[in-house]
Chain A
Amino acid sequence: MGAYAIRRLLWIPVTVILTTMIVFLLVRFIPGNVVDIIESQMAANGGGTIDRAAIMKLLGLNVPVYVQYGRWVSDIVVHGSFGTSLRSSQPITPMILQRIPLTFELGLMALIIGLLISIPIGVYSAIRQDTITDYILRSLSIILISVPSFWLGTMIVLYPSIWWHWAPPMEFIPFFKNPIGNLGMMIIPALVLGSQQSGSTMRMTRTMMLETLRQDYIRTAWAKGLSERVVVIRHAMKNALIPVVTMVGGGIPSLVGGSVIIEYIFNLPGMGRLMVDALDGRDYPIISAINLIMATIVIANNLFIDLTYGWLDPRIHYQ
């Protein structure tokens, strides 16, 4: 385990360097560059011609790509700076730092809500396999995956306001000003995001429970005359939930991706909202910065899962 952990940690720099390359090139190497877009927008808005060379120089695009990449990375490493926004010329780092807590809060709440919904339902569905209850619960889990969060969010904002003139609070309340008000405002977005996540966790819990319930030691437990509650909770659940932990961790990328849409619908000033605004304005430095931060969160999360997995399941031996 110790050797595995060290090797796993040694890979991290490689992973991070590769990530910065992909994130950087994703925006720069796709056909059509920023200057072309600015030019076409200027033309569309009735503006005159622009000085391409001057803009290229201003944006630092007049040097080869590897030099641009080197500058970008060294700025992040040395100054902790992601550069400045193309639109507002404001430094990007404080902009993002200000918005991270909200996205984090939303993600955490959604994760907790998702687990609270999915694990009991998944377990129950497995121990009643192929009964009517199982069919209903499984249909529910698949409904949760299938209903798009952006539509569900829109409907939740829309229909109560038409029928009862009630809308979920859309005014943002900072957590440290009014914690209860903040939680009350966040609960609906978190519920929408969490319920979508819970669908796949529910399915995974069910599958893992079914697999565990077919093991020899479960038969032994039955043979000893233990009650169903003890067999299921003490013997089966403990082992079945280990892969589910990985699965929940593996769902973090889609949670982060989903928060983009949720923040947009519920008008929450988080990182996802910043992302959509930046995409609208084709503000590439911000887009790259957010991509890199999201990727870093996921890499850290994957590392954490890999390291805890061996501890959770002693049967696993890393070489």
Chain B
Amino acid sequence: MTTKNGNAAPVKRVENKRPGLFFDLLRRLVLEKPLGTFGLGLIIIFFTMGIFSKFIMPFSWSQIHLLERLQGPSGRYFLGTDELGRDEMSRLIYGARISMEIGIGATFLNTVVSILIGASSGFLGGKTDMIVQRFVDVWMSIPGFVILLTVMTILPRSLLMMILVLGITGGIGGARLVRSAVIAIKSNTYISASDAIGCSPVRILLVHIIPNIMPTLIIMFTLGIGGNILAEAGLSFLGFGLPPGVPSWGVLINSSQAYLQTDPQLALWPGLALSLAVFGMNMFGDSIRDLLDPRLRGGVGRYALSDKKLKELKENLAGKAAAGK
């Protein structure tokens, strides 16, 4: 290799051979966390239902069959029909789509709002940080569900509004977590180094801090989806969430209230679907947290490794010893 100064060592770009955070996480999830993998499976089922709802639904969710009102399960209607003769199964499948939209939309907005407030306040520090934190403290002291109820009585009820309200009100609380993660990263030498070579604060924040608080953000995101889906259902159940025409699971439970004594299954199915979807989300989020939280790694003493892993380790060692001889 000949360059202008011949004695310079050839510059070679070192390829990053490590798999990305995402694939590494997925591999470890499947290998180490059977419960989390089960949760992921449930999530995939519900997402597939949501995305392909148009092709899976036996009927349109809004198609009315007035002559076949409030029927029980049958070959034609797997889960029966509601008070207007609409196919319950189709409505449940479409409900998965709405829950998915709300869960992902609102939680994404949560994360963005949390980063905007938390990262800037943690990064800037000083007076700004103190004032912002007071405000966040106060906001956190009003129960979240009560804030949601209050705000939703006044605002027009629609899917987009629901996502905006859940996203913004919930994001303010999450700012605290992001802030403490940012403060922990900020004191690292590489941040001072990038400051010293003249990186702008925005660049430091985007290129050096945000990627390093990714674990916190991923945990927040995965655990937030279930909470947002539940919040929407609770609001809709009380009649302050989505408008009655939209077949979200919360709305379905709400509109079944008048027919409970005669047709309890109208409240049973949407609740089961809701519980199962949120269960999958939480199960997955919980395992992801276990995998990403550095405080839970390693350790000493009897509880450091599970019996299964200890056994594997011993067998491994024994195998190596045998091979050595």
Residues of A contacting B234 in the complex (Cβ-Cβ under 8 angstroms): 148, 150, 261
Establish whether residues A145 and B141, one from each chain, have CB atoms under 8 Å apart when the complex forms: no
Known A-B contacts A158-B267, A162-B264; the reply to A213 vs B301 at CB < 8 A is yes
Establish whether residues A19 and B233, one from each chain, have CB atoms under 8 Å apart when the complex forms: no
- The answer to whether A129 has its CB under 8 Å from any CB of chain B is yes
Q: Which of B139, B140, B154, B267 contacts A151 (CB 8 A)?
A: B267
Residues of B contacting A127 in the complex (Cβ-Cβ under 8 angstroms): 303
Stretch at the interface among A49-57, A69-77, A171-179, A287-295: A287-295
Establish whether residues B138 and A260, one from each chain, have CB atoms under 8 Å apart when the complex forms: no
B227 to A: closest C-beta gap in Å: 9
Residues of B contacting A159 in the complex (Cβ-Cβ under 8 angstroms): 264
**Which A residues are closer than 8 A to B by beta carbons?**
11, 14-15, 18-19, 22-23, 26-27, 30-32, 126-127, 129-131, 135, 138-139, 142-143, 145-148, 150-152, 154-155, 158-159, 161-162, 203, 207, 210-211, 213-216, 218-219, 222, 253-254, 256-258, 260-261, 264, 275-276, 279-280, 282, 287, 290-291, 294-295, 298-299, 302
Q: How many residues of B contact A (CB 8 A)?
A: 58
Residues of B contacting A295 in the complex (Cβ-Cβ under 8 angstroms): 138, 141-143
Establish whether residues B155 and A31, one from each chain, have CB atoms under 8 Å apart when the complex forms: yes
Establish whether residues A154 and B260, one from each chain, have CB atoms under 8 Å apart when the complex forms: yes
A114 to B: closest C-beta gap in Å: 16
Residues of B contacting A130 in the complex (Cβ-Cβ under 8 angstroms): 306-309
CA distance A211 to B304 in the complex (A): 10
B181-240 interface with A by 8 A CB criterion: 226, 230, 233-234, 237-240
Establish whether residues B141 and A299, one from each chain, have CB atoms under 8 Å apart when the complex forms: yes
Secondary structure call for the B interface: helix
Establish whether residues A15 and B301, one from each chain, have CB atoms under 8 Å apart when the complex forms: no
**Which B residues are closer than 8 A to A by beta carbons?**
34-35, 134-135, 137-147, 149-151, 153-155, 226, 230, 233-234, 237-240, 253, 257, 260-261, 264, 267-268, 271, 274-275, 278-279, 281-283, 286, 295-296, 298-304, 306-309
Residues of B contacting A148 in the complex (Cβ-Cβ under 8 angstroms): 230, 233-234, 237, 271, 274-275, 278
Secondary structure call for the A interface: helix
Establish whether residues A27 and B154, one from each chain, have CB atoms under 8 Å apart when the complex forms: yes
Establish whether residues A210 and B150, one from each chain, have CB atoms under 8 Å apart when the complex forms: no
CA distance A174 to B49 in the complex (A): 48
CA distance A294 to B138 in the complex (A): 12
CA distance A148 to B275 in the complex (A): 7
